Structure 1
Amino acid sequence: MTTPGRLPYPISLTGDGITLREWRDEDLDELVAMLDEPDIARWTPMPSPFDVEAGIAYLKRARQGRVSGQRMQLAITADGGKPLGEVLLFGVDVGLREAELGYLVGAAHRRRGLARRSLTLLSGYARSTLSLNRLLLRIDAGNTASIAVARGCGYRLTGEPPILQEGPHGSTSLDTWESVPTGGGSRMERLRNVAARRYGRRV
């Protein structure tokens, strides 16, 4: 990255029949319809019900995170138009060359491979342009659809302890999945990265 810890803004990524773009104010209605949904509430810490007020706050936080360069929060679209889902990149550690990603797709747009294509596209950008080496996902063991996406994109389950996340309908226990490039480091190097995150220092 040209500026350590700061993510490029704005961007638009296109590939495999999709376009990832910045959120817009005019996306509010589609955003509310997409996030006010039982499966979203079950697996994420989103407010539930997710109303217009929550949508306005969500878009505001997304814009602040993008302008500050702290996270990528992009709408998944077919052609740059109507948002069908979202893909994220955040928690960048420049020293460890790693970051966390996330994704969701609206109920009406599932079973079209959108999450898989979006995760693949953003993961590729993270490696080629942001020079990140280890990419992470946090997924509840019961979220079989999200696990299928992770596996389909080449992510694998690590042995790291689960992370407890509180949501509107209780807690979820998040397992860590990782993607590292072929030849991108030995098992010992990956364990050193785990230790660095856990104890706050490089090993």
Structure 2
Amino acid sequence: MTADPLPYPLRLTGTGIVLREWQPEDLTDLIALLDEPEIARWTPMPSPFDEESGKAYLKRAHQGRTSGSRIQLAITTDGGRPLGEVLLFSVNHDLREAELGYLVGHPHRRRGLASAALSTLSGYACGTLRLRRLLLRIDPANVPSTLVARRCGYWLTGEPPIVQEGPYGPTRLETWEYVDGRSATRPERQRNVAYRRYGGRR
């Protein structure tokens, strides 16, 4: 039995954000967002990220969206200029799980955009798509990303790290999970690897 494709087009609204489909006219803003060593350090983006890279990226995003194989949305505050991206991919319908990712351009960080976008898409994935387990893959040295994950209710698992090569060297990706939108209890937090490593949130 073939699984239903992911919804397209899609527009989601969260606290202070609007998540929308990428458009061809976003090319200039996309290049400005992704042509940054800090993003290339933690993701498999090409570096430098030029016009050719941008056009190829938008083409792949469009193909993935129209085929229903992934959700890939621009993060905006009002449906206008893209400030980042959030995505859902590698969906396993049998296990009811998928992987998510997010990024925000350097000038737009420290505004809560990544947390708002991840929270909004996670809620949609569990509520509307009825996925049971959501995953993030994050290098522990990428501290801002780990803080976003924890803030949105994700918890570090004990799964072996995944080594991924990038233009600035390898990354060692650890797996974080969010299960059924359920908040962990205090005993669960104390047992959790992330809680022991990064400490309790005050």
Q: Which category of TM-score, normalised to the shorter sequence, fits these structures?
A: 0.7 to 0.9
Q: Which residue in the other structure is 1:10 paired with?
A: 9
Percent same amino acid at aligned positions?
A: 69
Q: Which residue in the other structure is 1:30 paired with?
A: 29
Q: Which residue in the other structure is 2:179 paired with?
A: 180
Q: Is the 8 A contact 2:136 2:176 kept in 1?
A: yes
Distance 2:96 2:4 in 1: 10
After superposition, the Cα gap between the structure-2 partners of 1:109 and 1:183, relative to the gap in structure 1 and judged at 3 Å, is: closer
Alignment of 1:10-159 (within 5 A): 10-159=9-158
Q: CA deviation at 1:169?
A: 1.2
Runs of at least 5 residues in structure 2 that lack an aligned partner in the other structure: 189-202
After superposition, the Cα gap between the structure-2 partners of 1:92 and 1:79, relative to the gap in structure 1 and judged at 3 Å, is: same
Give the 3-state SS of the residue equivalent to 2:81 in structure 1.
Answer: coil
When the two chains are superposed, the root-mean-square deviation of aligned CA atoms in Å is 1.5
Q: Is the 8 A contact 1:105 1:114 kept in 2?
A: yes
Q: Is the 8 A contact 2:164 2:171 kept in 1?
A: yes
Q: Is the 8 A contact 1:139 1:174 kept in 2?
A: yes
Q: Is the 8 A contact 1:140 1:174 kept in 2?
A: yes
Q: Is the 8 A contact 2:153 2:183 kept in 1?
A: no
Q: Deviations over 1:72-97 (max 9, x none)?
A: 11000000000000000000001100
Distance 1:90 1:63 in 2: 14
Q: CA deviation at 1:170?
A: 1.3
Q: Is the 8 A contact 1:5 1:70 kept in 2?
A: no
How many correspondences in the alignment?
A: 183
- Name segments (4+ residues, structure 1) moved above 6 Å: none
Runs of at least 5 residues in structure 1 that lack an aligned partner in the other structure: 188-203
Counterpart code for 2:35 = D
Distance 1:5 1:175 in 2: 29
